[in-house]
């Protein structure tokens, strides 16, 4: 599977997964355990994305300019900064450190 | 009845949707650049942003393709990362209460950002507003930025120079932050981050994030935060 077949096939699979969630029986989330588990799965995926986005370099775990950038973002969030400021601040810290020669 | 546009709550929701759309959309520049660098054509990169429309899966797909992985591996990784959108669908479908063509569109717009902004709003009307505005805003800006990225790809050089990789991590952290007010989600977040990081050297790209879902049964088995606010209560 290459080129357009990959693009369209994988896109169809991703859409199918989104739609499956919308078409699932309404009763599914009425049960407190299901609702709680679904919310915790979201938290797990987001936390994992934060970790992988800030520490993974291919198959290696590295500490580079992304880590202080993420710390700055966390500080900004603790101070209730708006979303865009948090994201721009993180980019600016990483870009600044790299301009200074950090990895 | 006052117009929703004049309502301060609606204005706050719209402002949040816009800032999330702009921040996420801007990151689409790096997706377009990376996709072209991985060997996709600009049209294929744009098709992924318009049709797949789920950043994690898109980055995973071009990552596997760029690293020389097979098409099947690239598609499987993208689909596995897309499983969470099915879970988001379960969460947002009852908030939206739509049928027919609107449901098909709602499914397409079900991503991290639209779910996060939608579910974070205080009232049912604002939850719907937050979901639709964020989903549509991200879709438009994400596609425009992808197109720009495919053009700028070479001129921009390494997206890391502009800290775009750190911006992505910060964006996910900002989406996670409001969900950490109680003990169980905080425990899950820490466990998931540790699991994902530990899995990075062991599992193929894309899978560490999915492996981190094991943090949920782990924390539930340990009964952390069993006295947290029950689901359905305002958080």
pLDDT of B98 above 60: yes
Closest residue in chain B to residue A5, using alpha carbons only: B71
Residues A32 and A71 in one domain: yes
Residues A91 and A70 in one domain: yes
Averaged pLDDT for residues B137-160: 86
Residues A7 and A32 in one domain: no
Q: What is the pLDDT of residue A98?
A: 96
What is the distance between the alpha carbons of residues B84 and B72, in angstroms, rounded to a whole number? 20
Residues A2 and A42 in one domain: no
**If we measure between CA atoms, which residue out of A13, A79, A18 comes closest to residue B106?**
A18
Residues A3 and A47 in one domain: no
Q: Model confidence over A74-87: pLDDT tens digits?
A: 999 999 997 778 88
Closest residue in chain B to residue A1, using alpha carbons only: B71
Averaged pLDDT for residues B181-186: 93
Binary contact (A18, B54; C-beta < 8 A): yes
Q: How confident is the model at residue B83 (pLDDT cuts 50, 70, 90)?
A: confident
Q: Give the three-state DSSP class for B141.
A: helix
Residues A80 and A42 in one domain: yes
- How many interchain CB pairs under 8 A, A with B? 291
Residues A32 and A64 in one domain: yes
Averaged pLDDT for residues B211-230: 82
pLDDT of A30 above 90: no
Q: What is the pLDDT of residue A66?
A: 95
Residues A66 and A38 in one domain: yes
From B94's Cα to the closest Cα of chain A, the distance in A is: 7
Residues A91 and A55 in one domain: yes
Structure tokens, B102? 């609107």
Structure tokens, B138? 């991200």
Q: Model confidence over A10-22: pLDDT tens digits?
A: 999 999 999 999 9
Contacts of B20 in chain A (CB under 8 A): 83
Contacts of A54 in chain B (CB under 8 A): 166, 169
Question: In chain A, how many domains are there?
Answer: 2
Residues A55 and A87 in one domain: yes
Contacts of B104 in chain A (CB under 8 A): 19
Cβ contacts of B179 within 8 Å, gap of 6 or more: A39, A42, A43, A46, B185, B189
Residues A76 and A38 in one domain: yes
A10, A45, A90: residue with CB nearest B74: A10
Task: Note down the domain range covering A5.
Answer: 1-26
Q: Give the three-state DSSP class for A61.
A: strand
Contacts of B75 in chain A (CB under 8 A): 1, 6, 9-10, 13
Q: Exposed/middle/buried for A24, CB within 10 Å: 0-12, 13-18, 19+?
A: middle
**If we measure between CA atoms, which residue out of A47, A56, A95, A52 comes closest to residue A72?**
A95
Averaged pLDDT for residues A20-48: 80
Output A45 or A62, whichever has higher pLDDT.
A62
Q: What is the pLDDT of residue B54?
A: 94
Binary contact (A42, B115; C-beta < 8 A): yes
pLDDT of A4 above 80: yes
Residues A12 and A33 in one domain: no
B16, B167, B194: residue with CB nearest A91: B167
Structure tokens, B147? 């197109």
Pair B172, A49: CB distance under 8 Å: yes
Q: How confident is the model at residue A28 (pLDDT cuts 50, 70, 90)?
A: low
Contacts of A50 in chain B (CB under 8 A): 169, 172-173, 176, 193
- Strand extents, DSSP E, A1-103: 56-57, 60-61
DSSP state of B233: S
Output B230 or B50, whichever has higher pLDDT.
B50
pTM of the model: 0.71
Binary contact (A47, B163; C-beta < 8 A): no
pLDDT of A36 above 70: yes
Averaged pLDDT for residues B142-159: 83
Comparing A57-61, B108-112, B229-233, which segment has the lowest mean pLDDT?
B229-233
- Strand extents, DSSP E, B46-109: none
């Amino acid at each position: 599977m290459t080129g357009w077949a990959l693009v369209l096939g994988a896109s169809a699979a991703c859409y199918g997964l989104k739609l499956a969630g919308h078409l699932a029986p309404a009763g599914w989330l009425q049960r407190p355990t299901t609702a709680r588990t679904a919310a915790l799965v979201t938290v797990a995926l987001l936390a994992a994305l934060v970790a992988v986005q800030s520490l993974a370099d291919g198959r290696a775990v590295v500490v580079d300019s992304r880590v202080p950038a993420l710390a700055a973002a966390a500080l900004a969030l603790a101070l209730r900064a708006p979303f865009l400021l948090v994201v721009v601040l993180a980019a600016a810290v990483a870009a600044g450190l790299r301009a200074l020669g950090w990895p | 009845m006052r117009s929703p546009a004049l309502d301060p709550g609606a204005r706050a929701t719209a402002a949040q949707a816009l800032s999330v759309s702009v921040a996420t959309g801007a990151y689409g520049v790096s997706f377009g650049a990376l996709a072209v660098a991985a060997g996709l054509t600009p049209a294929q990169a744009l098709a992924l942003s318009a049709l797949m429309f789920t950043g994690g899966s898109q980055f995973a797909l071009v990552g596997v393709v760029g690293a020389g992985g097979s098409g099947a591996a690239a598609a499987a990784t993208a689909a596995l990362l897309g499983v969470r959108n099915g879970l988001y669908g379960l969460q947002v479908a009852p908030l939206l209460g739509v049928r027919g063509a609107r449901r098909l569109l709602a499914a397409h717009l079900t991503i991290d950002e639209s779910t996060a902004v939608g579910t974070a709003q205080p009232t049912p009307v604002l939850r719907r507003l937050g979901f639709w505005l964020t989903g549509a805003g991200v879709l438009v800006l994400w596609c425009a930025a992808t197109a720009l990225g495919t053009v700028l790809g070479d001129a921009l050089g390494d997206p890391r120079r502009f800290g775009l990789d750190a911006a992505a991590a910060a964006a996910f952290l900002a989406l996670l932050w409001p969900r950490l007010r109680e003990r169980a989600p905080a425990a899950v977040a820490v466990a998931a981050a540790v699991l994902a990081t530990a899995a990075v050297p062991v599992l193929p790209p894309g899978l560490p994030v999915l492996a981190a879902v094991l943090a949920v049964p782990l924390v539930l088995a340990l009964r952390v935060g069993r006295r947290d606010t029950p689901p359905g209560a305002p958080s």
